[in-house]
Amino acid sequence: MSNARSVQKILLTGAAGRIGTYLRERLGARFDFSGIDRRPVDGLDSTVANLTDHDAVLGAMQGIDTVVHLAAEPRHTPDIWWDVLLPDNIVATANVFEAARQAGVGRVVFFSSMHVVGMYERDEPWSSIANGDYGDLDPTDVPLVTHEAPARPDGPYAASKIFGESLGRYYAEEFGMTVICIRLGTMGGDDKPGPDARSRVSWLSRRDLATMVERCIDVPGIGYDIFYGASANTWKIYDTPRAWRVLEYQPQDDAEDFRT
Amino acid sequence: MSNARSVQKILLTGAAGRIGTYLRERLGARFDFSGIDRRPVDGLDSTVANLTDHDAVLGAMQGIDTVVHLAAEPRHTPDIWWDVLLPDNIVATANVFEAARQAGVGRVVFFSSMHVVGMYERDEPWSSIANGDYGDLDPTDVPLVTHEAPARPDGPYAASKIFGESLGRYYAEEFGMTVICIRLGTMGGDDKPGPDARSRVSWLSRRDLATMVERCIDVPGIGYDIFYGASANTWKIYDTPRAWRVLEYQPQDDAEDFRT
């Protein structure tokens, strides 16, 4: 089958980080990647700049079809404070959306986090699932937290991500851009779920990440949407299956298969 | 009837502004007000400081029962940009919640805005109501946008307010504080609705404002909640009546009575 489309140009913010590296490894043959990061990125055409530098962000956006906005302070513990979150999560994200608009970039895939709804994990039945106290729970009967449930951030980091999601919705509705938010779960450094029960809910394997992002880049017909990013884990708190239906893909992995 | 409680101490941020002034005029006999503002406030015990100064905010919180957080950049047009919104709406609000927690303040009333859901006004039937194209619409049949509807900010200002609401929810859920968000409508300088149709939806009279804030200070049993702030206007887009039920008060005014 011939493919008449030219190869899409994808800008990865935070390209030097783990997720940027996984995406380049797995999707490098399909897309023309470039990057922007504070650090140089081996083997990638990239801009070395802080995302608080709006001009640098705008420069990196030229000719780009889709921005995958990964760059952020990723630590979500309550001690990570505004001195870090303001520049790295708030200002950087405001710059990314505005520069994308200015440069005519049609699509932004914004990496948010399950932490924006993390407080649901203190309520039942989700608390028991997060703690591995399964008792008589049937995983197929658990009510799932949807993408439209009111945000319940579990810390300042999560509030900074809600800001990004909300600002993205404005850019989508006001300027006709496609903005897709991925509420990312947990990615183990060894591509396996952690030993804790919450990882059995939140784990996302590298290949399932790659497929999800590929679909977020390709899927037509979306103005703004939010999807939870996890593998096909048996135990769920969030409505991950909606992503598989709307984005039309099937994740391959299940954290339950790694239980020892 | 004797009142055994001591007079509540209320800190108004942005005390020199319009709303702070209205509140002091109408509720000054009931509460012991103090203020913090960049400008001195005539006749009020107040701290002159920028709310980006965390130490100053913390100092003003000592011994306070409830903070009414009014201080903000109020302009919501898209040209009001992050150079203003970051310090005045993001940093200031982060400081207010954190200082309240540190000082043991039990309650924060946060002034948000109807603009956080402003994009609903582009959809029917709300668009027709916002534009005064009433046609065959019966105001009692209009579906109302609830406080749990997904946020749809109509600009950067609105995104800054969503940040504040979300951060407030974190403080309420994590630290047991009471946080009440008022999504404020429109207050005319002459205490009358403007001539435009949207004002007939969003108008809040000064006496209805005062009653609403008084109830937000007094009402027991709330951890976190969001209420739309408007008078008993005939034409509605947002679910203002829920505030009257939950807060148990009856607004007195209706913008419809001012139509000429």
DSSP class of residue A115 equals G
Average pLDDT, chain B: 96
**Interface-testing mutation among A101, A162, A175, with chain B (most B C-beta atoms within 10 A):** A162
Query: Cα dihedral sign for A75, A108, A251, A159?
Result: positive
* Separation in Å, CA B180 to CA A45, A94, B153, B215, B217: 48, 27, 19, 11, 9
Determine, for residues A166 and B156 on separate chains, whether the beta-carbon distance falls below 8 Å.
no
CATH code of the domain covering residue B218:
3.40.50.720
Specify the DSSP element, H or E, that contains B164: helix B156-175
Per residue in B83-138, pLDDT (tens digit) is 999 999 999 999 999 999 999 999 999 999 999 999 999 999 999 999 999 999 99
pLDDT score recorded for residue B2: 44
The alpha carbon torsion through A191, A192, A198, A201 (nearest 10 deg) reads 80
Per residue in A69-126, pLDDT (tens digit) is 999 999 998 889 999 999 999 999 999 999 999 999 999 999 999 999 999 999 999 9
Per residue in B161-184, pLDDT (tens digit) is 999 999 999 999 999 999 999 999
pLDDT score recorded for residue B78: 87
Confidence of residue A5 (pLDDT cuts 50, 70, 90): low
pLDDT score recorded for residue B248: 98
Total residue count of chain A as it appears in this document: 260
Per residue in A21-46, pLDDT (tens digit) is 999 999 999 999 999 999 999 999 99
Classify residue A187: in a domain, yes or no. yes
B216-230 average pLDDT score = 98
CA angle at A20 for the pair A17 and A26, rounded to the nearest 5°: 140
Q: How far apart are CA A150 and CA A134, in angstroms?
A: 25
Q: How far apart are CA A128 and CA A240, in angstroms?
A: 18
Classify residue B1: in a domain, yes or no. no
- Phi, psi torsion values for B235, nearest 5 degrees: -90, 125
DSSP helix/strand/coil, B86: helix
Confidence of residue A188 (pLDDT cuts 50, 70, 90): confident
The pTM of this model reads: 0.96
Chain B residue numbers touching A78 (CB-CB < 8 A) = 174
How do beta strands A178-184 and A107-113 pair?
Answer: parallel
Confidence of residue A173 (pLDDT cuts 50, 70, 90): very high
Task: Fill in the amino acid letter for B34.
Answer: S
pLDDT score recorded for residue A1: 42
pLDDT score recorded for residue A38: 97
Classify residue A62: in a domain, yes or no. yes
Nearest alpha carbon to residue A119 among A246, A253, A237, A207: A237
Where would I find the H helices in A78-122? 82-85, 92-103
By percentage, how much of chain B surpasses pLDDT 90? 94
If interface means Cβ-Cβ distance under 8 Å, which residues of chain B face chain A?
A: 78, 82, 86, 90-91, 94, 116, 119, 122, 148, 150-156, 158-160, 162-163, 166-167, 169-170, 173-174
Q: Which of B91, B154, B155 sits opposite A86 (nearest CB)?
A: B91
Range of the domain at B205: 9-258
Classify residue A3: in a domain, yes or no. no
Q: Are A123 and A78 in contact (CB under 8 A)?
A: no
Q: How many distinct structural domains can be found in chain B?
A: 1
pLDDT reading at B3 higher than 70: no
pLDDT reading at B49 higher than 70: yes
Classify residue B3: in a domain, yes or no. no
pLDDT score recorded for residue A260: 77
Determine, for residues A167 and B159 on separate chains, whether the beta-carbon distance falls below 8 Å.
yes
pLDDT score recorded for residue A133: 97
Distance, CA of A13 to chain centre: 12
Classify residue B153: in a domain, yes or no. yes
Known catalytic residue at B157: yes
Classify residue A4: in a domain, yes or no. no
* Residue tagged active-site, from B22, B120, B134, B157: B157
Q: Give the other-Cβ count within 10 Å of A138's Cβ.
A: 7
Classify residue A211: in a domain, yes or no. yes
* Residues facing residue B184 across a β-bridge: B113, B229
Confidence of residue B5 (pLDDT cuts 50, 70, 90): low
Q: What ipTM was reported for this prediction?
A: 0.96
